[in-house]
Amino acid sequence: MTPTVQSLQRRLIALGFPLPEFGADGDPGSETVAAMNAALDELASRRWPTGNRPPVTLPSPTLPAPPIPADWMPAAKMGRIICHWTAGAHKASEFDRGHYHILIEDEGKLVRGIPSIALNEAPAKRGYAAHTLGANSGSIGVSLCCMGGSNEAPFDPGKYPMTREQWDALTSVVANLCRRYSIPVTDKTVLSHAEVQNNLGIQQRGKWDFTRLAFDPSVKGAKACGDKLRAEAKAKL
């Protein structure tokens, strides 16, 4: 992949864009990718004679997760973010969209849920996103589209395992929401559904989203998964 990024970088430099150098290890790094994306945006906004526009595509694995569109985050007083999986397939269904504010598909693409975040402002309004038993008021519900047909013990992620791309997009989404709604990152304000019973003292019915991460079997238990979520989201604030 690196040679492709490097050759693209060379072409952009030739077009007059000042870009940072690659690291000594040949890894483009996030700064270079961000600068290249800015250059590509500028190129895209230029007017090219018909048929003359140069084909420019950046390999996707290093692209940063897309930010949440501003109109998905209306003004509201929100106190916490609860993270789930849908226990469905890798793409968001209409059913999934009815229960959460934001869904994240297997490749990290964001899908807007049907209820607006503002409907879950306390007290919850008609049509709110019912994502967590007894804890929907003031809570934003984010869900990863995955884990349909999975089993907790023995652990079997099923046909739609949680992907690393989904997880990375989740930590970006959480950081974005924390900034927008001034939510601090604590184990009572940024947590997974599996932590709700312990951390908030609100009984749930055997929810284990998430006590296991299909892409990293070394992380086990609700607290370990939640701590990883909070540490990575905090690093993106």
Q: Does 195 bind Zn ion (CB under 5 A)?
A: no
- Supply the minimum distance, in Å, between the C-beta of residue 99 and Zn ion: 9
| Closest-CA residue to 73 (of 148, 178, 167) | 178
> Is the CB of 76 or the CB of 130 nearer to Zn ion?
130
Which listed residue (58, 209, 229, 233) binds Zn ion by CB under 5 A?
209
Task: Return the CA Rg of the chain.
Answer: 20
Which listed residue (33, 65, 80, 84) binds Zn ion by CB under 5 A?
84
Tell me how far apart the alpha carbons of residues 171 and 169 are, in angstroms, rounded to a whole number: 6
> Is the CB of 193 or the CB of 212 nearer to Zn ion?
193
Q: Give SS3 for 85.
A: strand
Q: State the DSSP code for 209.
A: T
- Supply the minimum distance, in Å, between the C-beta of residue 226 and Zn ion: 13
Other beta carbons less than 10 A from residue 20's beta carbon:
14
Restricting to residues 164-193, which ones interact with Zn ion according to CB under 5 A? 193
- Supply the minimum distance, in Å, between the C-beta of residue 103 and Zn ion: 12
Tell me how far apart the alpha carbons of residues 65 and 107 are, in angstroms, rounded to a whole number: 10
H-helix segments, 48-140: 94-99
| Closest-CA residue to 144 (of 234, 236, 237, 229) | 229
> Is the CB of 83 or the CB of 110 nearer to Zn ion?
83
- Whether the ω angle into residue 210 lies within 30 degrees of 0, i.e. cis, is yes
- Supply the minimum distance, in Å, between the C-beta of residue 136 and Zn ion: 11
> Is the CB of 62 or the CB of 143 nearer to Zn ion?
143
> Is the CB of 100 or the CB of 181 nearer to Zn ion?
100
Sole window of 7-15, 22-30, 206-214, 223-231 interacting with Zn ion (rule: CB under 5 A): 206-214
- Supply the minimum distance, in Å, between the C-beta of residue 15 and Zn ion: 47
Q: Which long-range contacts (CB under 8 A, 24 or more apart) does 115-122 make?
A: 116/74, 117/72, 117/73, 117/74, 117/76, 117/78, 118/74, 118/75, 118/76, 120/76, 120/78, 121/76, 121/77, 121/78, 122/77, 122/79
> Is the CB of 62 or the CB of 230 nearer to Zn ion?
230
Binding residue count for Zn ion, defined by CB under 5 A? 3
> Is the CB of 39 or the CB of 222 nearer to Zn ion?
222
Residues that bind Zn ion in the complex, under the rule CB under 5 A: 84, 193, 209
